[in-house]
Amino acid sequence: MADQSNSSSSLLLSAFTGAALGAAGLTWWLLSRAERRMALSKQVKRLSSLTMGSVKPITAVIPVASESLEERVQRLNLAIDEVRRQLENLSPEGSS
């Protein structure tokens, strides 16, 4: 009888220990995900603040009045090239 009581208390202690370790692991995982999400959010805000200062309204890039379609397409292509150059300048050093 004493062995059965000792065995059940050991089982109970093991179950509580497992639950505590599981809760600690889940807490650690949730905190690391939250930190990663916050860091990504800060990076997005920083990048958007860098680009917003250099973005021109579309009417400043492509005047709508009395231009032929070919001239508007050419201006649009130039604006796209300019945006592409700006994005390439913003990309981190190590990536291609």
Residue 3 class from Cβ within 10 Å (0-12 exposed, 13-18 middle, 19+ buried)? exposed
Half-sphere exposure of 4 (CA within 13 A, CB side): 1
Q: How many structural domains compose the chain?
A: 2
- The reply to whether 24 and 61 lie within a common domain is no
Percent of the chain surpassing pLDDT 90: 34
Mean pLDDT of 27-40: 92
Q: Domain of 10?
A: 1-47
- Same-domain status, 40 and 64: no
pLDDT tier, 19 (very low <50, low <70, confident <90, very high otherwise):
very high
Angle, nearest 10°, between helix axes 69-90 and 2-52? 130
pLDDT at 47: 77
67 confidence band (pLDDT: 50, 70, 90): low
